[in-house]
Amino acid sequence: MTGASFGAVGGAGAIWMVDDAATLWRLGPPRTTPVAGRTWVRHVGELREEPAVQFATADGDGGVLVVDRSSVSSLDPETGVQAPIAALPPKLGTVEAAMVVDDLLVLTTADEIVALGARDGRLRWRTPHGKSANVSPVVFGSALAFRSQGPSSELLLVSIRDGAVLGRIPTGSDAVGAPPVVCRGALVVPAGGGSLLVVSPGGSSAVASGFAPDVRSLGCDERRGRVWAVGIDGDHAVATWADAATGAVAGTVGLGPREVGPWDAVQVVGDTVVVPTLVAGIVGLDADTGAQRWSRPPGLLRGVRAVVIDGDVWIVDRTGRTEVLDARSGRVRWTERGLGEDLSAYNLLLAPVVAGHRVVLASPRALWALPLEGPR
């Protein structure tokens, strides 16, 4: 079975999708089903089949791009209509991350990073990186930055314009670790052994210590100029906040015996820090003191995804069941029952994608949309 990473992005009234066979699609006339409380539902695979959708992401113009097993397509978030754009490049591995940068759709696999035209799907450049990557690149100036995994981990900087490798910075051994974040212009990445590597906009770097030995998730509080690092210390999760420019630790709080995965980033909304965990669900912390304000169990199944949208926390579990919480209090604003079956692959779902007045939810086997303001 091929890998189960997937994604979709939106724009220009359409969604681009990359499936598990490395195909880029622009979603065309779909077989969609109107469902009460939802805008539309599109089933793209049966439970017994290999995952059909690899990734979905916003295209920057109000639409979504969907990557399936062999192509990219554009998806209309209002109707679910899907229009094919182009086939994926030959011999492309499983797509583990997708994002739109400028006019490019950037796809990352375990051994290369590939840029396609976001509107036409044509190959722009293709750069091998030779290592299994923690494949969630971030934009850092004119470069894409991501960290490889393994005993000789490194931070790789790749030119957005032409894919040229601009630099490699060793980051120590950190087999899982969090993807990097950019905060107040500085690039922050786990460096192993309870430390973070902080790279300034000018390119100088420094190592800051005092963090959990295994940092699994990073987030940025731009207003306060803080980086939040959540990791595992023994069998307990720990949250630490530090100065974004220097990495100097300002405070640490224990989160109890909880497991934290490297998929969802720590997110800051107002004066609340939202921390996803695999066991305890979603936790809300005070952004100034680190004190816990609320927690929300993961629901029926583990493998939830959480994202902040318009100041609310959207939580989606593996059946598609959705809860929308007030970020400050944790109070449930509204819920949607989901599709009633496990839609994930390897317990993973795609993160919700905001496109216009819709939130497109994507799994390996189904695409569906909810109104941004909730069911009526």
Long-range contacts of 249-257 (CB under 8 A, 24+ apart): 249/208, 249/210, 249/211, 250/226, 251/289, 251/290, 252/210, 252/290, 253/285, 253/290, 253/291, 253/292, 255/230, 255/280, 255/283, 255/292, 256/280
The pLDDT tens digits along the chain (376 residues) read 333 333 444 444 444 444 444 444 333 333 344 444 456 776 665 544 555 678 889 888 888 998 888 899 998 888 888 889 999 999 888 888 889 999 999 998 888 899 999 999 999 999 988 665 556 789 999 999 987 765 567 888 999 999 999 988 888 755 556 788 999 999 998 887 889 989 998 888 889 999 988 888 899 999 999 999 998 888 888 899 999 988 999 999 988 876 666 556 899 999 999 987 766 678 899 999 999 999 887 654 455 677 889 899 988 877 788 889 999 999 999 888 877 777 765 545 667 888 888 888 887 778 888 888 876 6
What is the count of structural domains for the chain? 3
Query: Do 78 and 107 belong to one domain?
Result: yes
Domain that holds residue 374: 1-126+348-376
**The model scores a pTM over 0.85:** no
The CATH number of residue 328's host domain is: 2.40.10.480
Long-range contacts of 102-107 (CB under 8 A, 24+ apart): 102/160, 104/160, 105/9, 105/16, 105/24, 105/57, 105/59, 105/65, 105/72, 106/137, 106/144, 106/160, 107/18, 107/24, 107/55, 107/67
Query: Do 28 and 99 belong to one domain?
Result: yes
- Asked whether 89 and 115 are in contact (CB, 8 A), the reply is no
The CATH number of residue 197's host domain is: 2.40.128.650
